[in-house]
Chains A and B, each alone.
Chain A
Amino acid sequence: MASRKKIRRSTKQKRGGISTTHILIVAGVAVLVVGLLVVLNANRSQTTVTDLVYETGVTPDGEPYKGSPDAALQLVEYSDFLCGHCGNFADALDNLSPDYIETGKLQVVFRNYAFLAPESLQAAQAVECALDQGADKFWLYHDLLFANRGTGMGVYSKPRLKAYARDVGLDTQAFGECLDSGAKLAEIQADKAEGESQGVEATPTWFIDGQMVRGGRPESELRQILDGLLSQAP
């Protein structure tokens, strides 16, 4: 009891403690710090994809396509999302889109060939889950996955894949359940087996009018190949 009195006395006798001014200064600094955090946070650029401007759909054997089914040329690509060349090839096709895909000259069909690492399998399952919600959603999701390639380890981890699903406007609940269930695994393995039966060994491998081409090609070379084939088309 005596010591408590002593404590109170010492409290009353203190000099030079904190004042309202101190509190206002600290509150001001706190507001500045939070402001700085908000600015730094809001400045983070988000990799986004633009709206689709081409026709999309699903082939009779269930593979997603973009471009007209009546196009003069059909390109079937086998791809792995962890493969850098596949991403570059997808970029090249994107750049050619206004001249070939959107004009009805070329139809691009996508097939998974997930073989590089466990995350390849996860990304492949994720795009199949996106396809369940529509071919347009598939292509938006496909573009976002490739746009985020090379952004570090875990780029196709399940939490990231779910976040991308939200970014492209998928039903995240249905998507998450699909991804977690592993329901698409058999389909991915069947896609890979189908590719192997056609001679695919690595990615990207693509077929243009039934002719197999191994490895990606730069945009200029692709343009030459497409123009050459189109000039021969009836």
Chain B
Amino acid sequence: MSENARDTTLHIPHRIDWRLWLMRLLSLAGIGVSAYLTWTHLAHQSVACGQSQDCDIVQQSVYSEVAGIPVALLGLIAYAVLFVLTLLRGRVPDPWGDYVPLAIFGISLIGVLYSAYLTYLELFVIHAICRWCVSSAVIITAIFLLSLPDLRAEVDAA
């Protein structure tokens, strides 16, 4: 009984460990970027952007908030949840453990799709590119891609 219980909590295949670690690091990087953008937005500070004014233009545009909530803050929450989920991966007993990779997949998919929309706005509506926002888009896309093999492994195992 006790051995079975231990087994079911450890169903994470060894080969995905490096991906999990990379996802944790990327989530931390995402937390850093979005926390900085949240602070500059709420404190009305200029965003470090080299010689360009583009970051401020994007950060203070009407598209930088959704229903009064800064988009950067939504990103911060998403990255924080993703970081917690990557820590929980392999540590949550079944059946809930199965849903951790599914949650990482779902949240990062939302991030990828919304980042695509925001990048479209920067290119074709605001006509200014915020390099911090682009780096966040790259981070969330990487997390999404890294989540896929783990999800595939879960489906195969089911």
**A162 x B57 contact (CB < 8 A):** yes
Query: A160 at the A/B interface (Cβ < 8 Å)?
Result: yes
Among the stretches A39-47, A69-77, A196-204, the one at the interface with B is A39-47
Query: B8 at the A/B interface (Cβ < 8 Å)?
Result: yes
The docked-state distance in angstroms from the alpha carbon of A26 to that of B103 is 8
The docked-state distance in angstroms from the alpha carbon of A40 to that of B57 is 20
Residues of A within 8 A of B74 (CB): 37
Query: B151 at the A/B interface (Cβ < 8 Å)?
Result: yes
Counted as pairs of residues, one from A and one from B, with CB atoms less than 8 Å apart, the total is 130
**B110 x A7 contact (CB < 8 A):** no
Residues of A within 8 A of B101 (CB): 18
**A163 x B60 contact (CB < 8 A):** yes
Query: A149 at the A/B interface (Cβ < 8 Å)?
Result: no
Known contacts A23-B151, A34-B114, A159-B44; decide if A17 and B158 are in contact (CB<8 Å).
Answer: yes
CB distance from B158 to the nearest CB of A (A): 3
Helix, strand, loop or mixed for chain A's interface?
Answer: helix
**Partner pick for B65 among A44, A166, A172, CB 8 A cutoff:** A44
Residues of A within 8 A of B126 (CB): 166
Among the stretches B10-18, B28-36, B135-143, the one at the interface with A is B10-18
Helix, strand, loop or mixed for chain B's interface?
Answer: helix
Chain A residues with a Cβ closer than 8 Å to the other chain, count: 45
Q: Which chain A residue lies CB-closest to B7?
A: A10
The docked-state distance in angstroms from the alpha carbon of A121 to that of B128 is 26
Q: A40-B66, A153-B44 are in contact. List 18 more A-B contacts (CB 8 A).
A: A8-B13, A14-B94, A17-B154, A17-B157, A18-B102, A22-B102, A26-B105, A29-B106, A34-B110, A37-B74, A41-B65, A41-B66, A157-B45, A159-B44, A162-B57, A162-B60, A163-B56, A175-B53
Using CB atoms and an 8 Å cutoff, list the residues of chain B in contact with chain A: 7-8, 10-14, 40, 43-47, 52-54, 56-57, 59-63, 65-67, 71, 74, 94-95, 98-99, 101-102, 105-106, 109-110, 113-114, 117, 126-128, 151, 153-155, 157-158
Using CB atoms and an 8 Å cutoff, list the residues of chain A in contact with chain B: 3-4, 6-12, 14-20, 22-23, 26-27, 29-31, 33-34, 37-38, 40-41, 44-46, 153-154, 157-160, 162-163, 166, 172-173, 175-176
